[in-house]
Amino acid sequence: MSVVHADLHYTKTHEWVKVHGDGTATVGITDHAQEALGDIVFVETPDVGRQVEAGDGCAVVESVKAASDIYAPLAGEVVEVNTALADTPELINESAYGDGWIFTLRIADAGAVDGLLDAAGYQAALDAEA
């Protein structure tokens, strides 16, 4: 049973979003996603300073099974990336919601956060998939 945290927002494509008070948000992939992908062997993070639109493929996570695009859940500017993933991509498997975060965005439109799924909505989406 995969873990879903109540204080995060989610996308149907299995990204999680943690909105901070300063207008930024951190993005990673969910526990369900890391479990489905299996052991992760490579992560390509976006360049800091890159402007992304919601839905843009902006990172790549490669596991022993597949390479998958990670989509920007919100529009904004990439302000920080998790450089530790370059040498230790397994952080995503070990701590999908913590040390395995992928990048942080400065959100272009705070209102867009309301368009994301909450924990209950994401859990419902997972249940529908199962």
Partner 1 sequence: MGLIGPATSCDPRSTPPNRNKPHMLIHEQSRPGRRAAAQAPLYSAEVSDIPVSARRVAPLVLPEVSELQAVRHYTRLSQKNFSIDTHFYPLGSCTMKYNPRACNTLAMLPGFLARHPAAPDSHGQGLLACLFELQEMLKEVTGMHAVSLAPSAGAQGEFAGVAMIRAYHRARNDGARTEILVPDAAHGTNPASAVMCGFVAREIPTGPNGDVDIAALREAVGPQTAGIMLTNPSTVGVFDRNIQEIAGIVHAAGGLLYYDGANLNAILGKVRPGDMGFDVIHMNLHKTFSTPHGGGGPGAGPVGVSKRLEPFLPVPLVVQDGDDYRWVSEHERPQSIGRLTAFGGNMGILLRAYVYARMLGREGMKRVSEFSTLNANYLMARLKAAGFDAAYPQRRASHEFIITMKRETKELGVNAMDFAKRLLDYGFHAPTTYFPLLVPECLLIEPTETETKEELDDFVAALVAIREEARTNPELVKGAPHTMPVRRLDDVRAARQLDLAWRSTANCT
According to the binding rule CB under 8 A, does residue 90 interact with partner 1? yes
State phi, psi for 43 to the nearest 5 degrees: -130, 130
Q: Which is nearer to partner 1, 25 or 96 (CB)?
A: 96
Burial of 129 (0-12, 13-18, 19+ CB in 10 A): exposed
Closest distance of CB 39 from partner 1, Å: 4
21-80 binders of partner 1 (CB under 8 A)? 36, 39, 41-42, 62, 64-66, 68
Q: Give the 3-state secondary structure of residue 51.
A: strand
Beta bridge partners of 104: 26, 80
Between 35 and 109, whose beta carbon lies closer to partner 1? 35
The alpha carbon dihedral of 17, 78, 23, 42 has a sign of positive
Strand ranges, E, within 1-130: 9-10, 15-19, 24-29, 40-44, 51-52, 57-63, 67-71, 76-81, 103-107
**Does the protein bind partner 1 through residue 128 (CB under 8 A)?**
no
Among 28, 73, 76, 89, binds partner 1 (CB under 8 A): 89
| Strand, helix or coil for residue 38 | coil
* Pick 25 or 43: Cβ nearer partner 1: 43
Nearer to partner 1, 42 or 98 (CB): 42
Number of residues that bind partner 1 (CB under 8 A): 11
Tell me which residues touch partner 1 (CB under 8 A).
36, 39, 41-42, 62, 64-66, 68, 89-90
